[in-house]
Structure 1
Amino acid sequence: MIFSLSLSMSSCGKNNELGTTPENANNTNGNTTNPAGSKMKITIGAVVFTATLSNNATGNAFKARLPLTLNMTELNSNEKYFDFQTALPSNAANPGTIQTGDLLLYGSNTLVLFYKTFSTSYRYTSIARIDNPSGLTAALGNENVTVEFELE
């Protein structure tokens, strides 16, 4: 999984990474802690999924950026990704198997939403996991897609 594409993000009144400084790219709603079980909504078109944020520094940092609307790029027929301009904290490990519905960080700035289960040798940091990923593959399709992330 090696890539170096530059992506943009639609604003739609939500935070965006492109053309902003790190200070104003983050949500200032005061959500800086992530108690175990924090929930997030992931909207793809008309389909809404609920995800549980990881109780780690990466999950906390991602949560602080919400809400986000991202134009995610298709890769490898199993994932959508987005490159942030500013890094998130990372503590990468090899999960061995990627599960459908995993929302992971590759490196320190690439958000990856997986829609197929497969074995991997790559290292990722956990951000969240979709609670019930049934229908995720169909919702994401096989092209680039806009995905909205917000606190539930």
Structure 2
Amino acid sequence: MKTINGSRLTLLLFFLIGIMACKMDDNGAPSAAVPENSGNTEPDTASTKPLGNKLRIRVGATTFTATLLDNPTVTAFKTRLPMTVSMSELNGNEKLYNFPAGLPTNSANPRTINAGDLMLYGSTTLVLFYKSFPTSYSYTKLGQVDNPAGLEAALGSGSVTVSYDLQ
């Protein structure tokens, strides 16, 4: 029984030495490690800054605002912003752009596409709809242009350059 108590005492002693070895600041709280010669006095918020849910869409001199949803596809989409892309015409009701790499999806059939819907078809095709119509296709919804009035005229026919960035 003596060796068991001695073992416990030894473990307790190592535990206490380990705790005391931790560096403490003046308030008794553990201090954060700061890289030497970093020269940066500003806190690093770039990786932890929450991204907003408002998207600015620029087509030529016209700017639209869209409200983004909160889902994994939108989170991945935001990491690609800002971006300026050439969007192709399809079916007289939408513009599309194919990403070189896919985004996560959770597609469903919306039954009706509304003018101003911003969606992902498959995992790589960004689609901006400028007309409303019924559909049998499935999409992952990213968001919706808040006021799509003038969107069709701004996008025009054929390919168009569109810029997307967070507000």
The CA distance in 2 between the partners of 1:84 and 1:119, in whole Å, is 25
Q: 2:55 aligns with which of 40, 51, 66?
A: 40
Q: Is the 8 A contact 1:82 1:112 kept in 2?
A: yes
- Structure 1's unaligned 5+ residue stretches are 1-28
Listed one character per residue, the Cα deviations across residues 84-136 of structure 1 (whole Å, up to 9, x for unaligned) are 01100100000000000000000000000000000000000011110000000
Where in structure 1 do 4 or more consecutive aligned residues deviate above 2 Å? Answer: 29-35
Match status 1:148 vs 2:140? no
1:51 maps to 66
Aligned length in residues: 122
Superposition pairs of residues 2-41 of structure 1, within 5 angstroms: 29-30=46-47, 38-41=53-56
Match status 1:78 vs 2:116? no
Counterpart residue identity of residue 144, structure 1: S
Instruction: Flag the structure with larger Rg.
Output: 2
> Closer, same or farther in 2 for the Cα pair 1:31/1:77, shift >3 Å?
farther
Percent identity of equivalent pairs = 55
Question: What CA RMSD, in Å, does the superposition of the two structures yield over aligned residues?
Answer: 1.4
2:80 maps to 65
SS at 2:165 equivalent? strand
**Scaled by the length of structure 1, what TM-score is found?**
0.77
Counterpart residue identity of residue 109, structure 1: T
**Scaled by the length of structure 2, what TM-score is found?**
0.70
Counterpart residue identity of residue 30, structure 1: S
